[in-house]
Amino acid sequence: MMNFKKFDVIIIGSGIGGLIAGCYLSKYGLKVLIAEQHNRPGGYCSSFRRKRYLFDVGVHFLGSMRIGVLGKILKEIGVFDRTKFLQYDPTDKIIMPDFCVSIRSNFKETIEEFIKVFPNEEKGIRRFFAFICCGNLAKRLISIKDLNFKEFMDIYFSDVRLQATFNVLLSNIGLNCFKLSAVAGMLLMRGYIFDSGYYPVGGMQNFSNTIADKFKEYGGELLLSTKVERILTKNKRVVGALVGNETFSSEHVVSNCDARATFLQLLDVEAREIEKIESLECSTSIFAAYLGLAGIKAEKILIGKSNVWRCFTYDMRKQIDVTAENVLKADFPIVMFSSTSLHNENSSKENLSVFTLAPYVSREFWSREKNRMGKKLLEITKLLFNVGDSNLKMIDSASPATFERYTNNYRGSAYGWSPLASKSYGAAIPQKTSIKNLFLAGHWIKTNIWHGGIPGVAFTGRNAAELILKSYNNKFSFQD
């Protein structure tokens, strides 16, 4: 099946963290295998087709391309110029019960947007954005490490409606401001406001495929539809992996999959990380309805090309209240709309994707409720945008159980560990594990000191590669 049975590194999972790690490692001469259980690379950063409609699975825009870490990484591995990126402005529109505010691609314009809606909060708004976007980042993170995000907002704002507007964006991390650590919330806002809104021409799958193709150009081996069954060790040191029904030897393993699966299912030896894993809380999942349009364009429905957040309440606890009861009552306080066809006008029939936070509950629960919830989101969309049955139809939907099946993330978790304010400041699980030469990448690395998104998981891939390359007596250097 393979050109060789011995590798320097085996990477589990072809999410962005795994692909980035593979590119760096193979670029610098190591023999690398990436094994992916799904039939395409990218994880949540992927796309699929149904009935000639192209949909992005879960990632809608990329950030940190011009100023931050993602653009730098793509240049280092040699793919930045292989994909054309469009930057949209505004990136997001937040529609509250009695006003609308836009997140602009220029953060100074975003500040003016908020001041226009909340003129009495101008001083606090300017101070809030200055704290997020400017100055010594590490020092500022330490200064708020003991706060939740609500306490952080209280420093700057008294208007509950303004706080509730920022709370809407916390849907991207699955926790409301009372539960979320201030550090994670601040970094989420920074990612949204500071150099965001980039979309790869051809869709998110094209972006992931481009990185995967570069990995193979560097000599890496990519196995799709192949699950790693076991990480093999000897004396608590990695010696290889059982990949599908074949055993491969390897000096290093990078796990870019669910950390629970890594330590509780894949390892053939008990690791000290297990105790910490069992004390952490996994983030919630999402429900997605993928809709097809006929006789009407997505741009007309959304009044532009930005993502649209529709929030029906100012109650910040209720806004992000992910329970089975909410699902059964069809109570969705926040619904987010996006359109893949808006950014791929020549490659996809007009479509619309609808997302809301959703609990896992059980596979049996979603087997019963998936169709009903999908139809409810379809009806909500028709009412909100005043479109009829002839304009909008259900193409597909995905429940938390669906996301669990395709990503192998525990209970369909969309964001790794929940960055709870009640947890201690610092790393949940370091990338260099207690098992010799086993490393982690992806969004299962840290709890409340960051919200990674695609830039964050890309950085974990880079860092995992750097840790491995340093073990070769500094033979390889990122400064080459």
Q: Are 40 and 171 in contact, with CB atoms under 8 Å apart?
A: no
CATH 3.50.50.60 assigned to domain 6-85+201-280+418-470? The reply is yes
pLDDT the model gives residue 141:
87
Q: What is the mean pLDDT of the chain?
A: 91
Higher pLDDT, 440 or 417: 440
Q: 3-class SS at 263?
A: helix
pLDDT the model gives residue 3:
47
Pairing status of strand 307-311 against strand 92-95: parallel
As a whole-number percent, the residues of the chain with pLDDT over 70 amount to: 94
pLDDT in tens, 385-403: 999 999 999 999 999 999 9
Residue type, 149: F
pTM assigned to the model? 0.93
| Cβ-based neighbour number of residue 268 at 10 Å | 12
Cα 450 from chain centroid (whole Å): 12
pLDDT in tens, 422-436: 765 455 678 999 999
Q: Which of 257, 217, 92, 65 is nearest to 166 (CA)?
A: 92
Domain spans of the chain, in order of start:
6-85+201-280+418-470, 107-193, 284-411
pLDDT the model gives residue 476:
54
Residue type, 181: S
Tell me the average pLDDT across 9-16.
97
